[in-house]
Amino acid sequence: MDMIYKVILKRIDNIFMKIFSFSIINLVTKIKKIFIYTNYDSSEYWKKRAKEPGQAAVLWKNQEYNNLYRKLEFNLLKKFLPKTINEPFYILDIGCGIGIVSKFLVENYPLAYVDAVDFQEMIEIARQKNFHERINYISSEAENYFDECKKYDVVISSACFSAIRNINRLKMAIENCSKMMKKNGIMIMIDPFHKWSYLARAKISSNEIIILLESLGFKLIYKSGVLFWPYREWLANSNYYGKDLERKFFQGEKLLGLLGKHFWADYKVLVFQNLIILHNFANE
């Protein structure tokens, strides 16, 4: 019965799409999302997505939109990664997906060594598509990844922490990462942290994240945001391409700059520095 109902609904939706060029099912889902937060097992969700084509496995359906986002993201990362360094440095890319960020890191920083952690399903694709001798791919849940021998200079969550919808597990993942960092190490989060049901992946605000990190001995050194959320909603899964998409994308980012980069961003940018060992030294 449920199946028949779904087929009929889909047919009606297709007719509606042809007449009005938008999906009534999508519209209803979006209206529902404004008021009701639906939680689900995000691990299973991500494992299933691993085989989607290209960056759709980890971002959105419009691949050109994904590329525009990556340009912003890589510029942000460059801000916080060492510019001149003549000794190896160690990065943890937590929730690395199919390895796009890890590959960017090793290709742009010849002395960077990356440990890249995600579910086995993602890691298999990452190894095929983004292999590199300085990337060590590790199949593990973020919340269970802890190795006391590791000491990272940089930890990056490119939309990983916010993807862990179970708040206790999310916190465990952050705590584990924080314990594997060198003194003065930098933790970079580019994550959609939201409390509002419509935008929330994990239902947690950036303020709650800041309080958590401060309690772990970290200092917030940078707070910003990317992807003006109404435009992100409009464009990321759209059929806009080329110059038209680019124009709309940057128009959104301009509006974000005008209205308030952190508040209006879908992806919040939070950068922390690990002070805990400095504190210990000071106490000695």
Is residue 256 close enough to count as binding ligand SAM by CB under 6 A? no
Of the residues 163, 187, 209, 213, which one makes contact with ligand SAM according to CB under 6 A: 163
Is residue 118 close enough to count as binding ligand SAM by CB under 6 A? yes
Stretch near ligand SAM under the rule CB under 6 A, chosen from 33-41, 118-126, 229-237, 245-253: 118-126
Is residue 158 close enough to count as binding ligand SAM by CB under 6 A? yes
Tokens of 165: 């919808």
3-state secondary structure of 80: helix
Is residue 95 close enough to count as binding ligand SAM by CB under 6 A? yes
Applying the rule CB under 6 A, the residues between 55 and 94 that interact with ligand SAM are 58
Of the residues 112, 160, 187, 213, which one makes contact with ligand SAM according to CB under 6 A: 160
Sign of the Cα pseudo-torsion (19, 20, 21, 24, in order) = negative
Closest CA to 268 of 164, 178, 194: 194
Is residue 122 close enough to count as binding ligand SAM by CB under 6 A? yes
DSSP codes, 99-146 = SHHHHHHHHH-TTEEEEEEE-HHHHHHHHHHS--TTEEEEE--GGG--
Query: Nearest residue to ligand SAM, using CB?
Result: 97
Q: How many CB atoms lie within 10 A of CB 232?
A: 22
Is residue 100 close enough to count as binding ligand SAM by CB under 6 A? yes
Is residue 101 close enough to count as binding ligand SAM by CB under 6 A? yes
Is residue 97 close enough to count as binding ligand SAM by CB under 6 A? yes
Contact criterion met (CB below 8 Å) for 201 and 192: yes
Is residue 135 close enough to count as binding ligand SAM by CB under 6 A? no
Closest CA to 91 of 221, 194, 180, 202: 180
Is residue 125 close enough to count as binding ligand SAM by CB under 6 A? no
Specify the residue, 13 or 141, whose C-beta has the smaller distance to ligand SAM.
141
The side-by-side arrangement of strands in the sheet containing 152-158 is: 135-139, 112-118, 89-94, 152-158, 181-191, 265-274, 218-228
Is residue 96 close enough to count as binding ligand SAM by CB under 6 A? yes
In b/e form, how buried is each residue of 176-204, taking b as 16+ CB within 10 angstroms? bbbebbeeebbbbbbbbbbeeeebbbbbb
Is residue 139 close enough to count as binding ligand SAM by CB under 6 A? no
Applying the rule CB under 6 A, the residues between 14 and 33 that interact with ligand SAM are none
Of the residues 141, 175, 208, 253, which one makes contact with ligand SAM according to CB under 6 A: 141
Task: Residue count of the chain, please give it.
Answer: 284
Stretch near ligand SAM under the rule CB under 6 A, chosen from 38-46, 81-89, 130-138, 250-258: 38-46
Is residue 227 close enough to count as binding ligand SAM by CB under 6 A? no
Write the CB contacts of 266 (distance below 8 Å, at least 6 apart in sequence). Answer: 192, 199, 225, 226, 227, 228, 229, 232, 233
Residues that bind ligand SAM (CB under 6 A): 42-43, 46, 58, 95-97, 100-101, 118-119, 122, 141-143, 158-160, 163-164
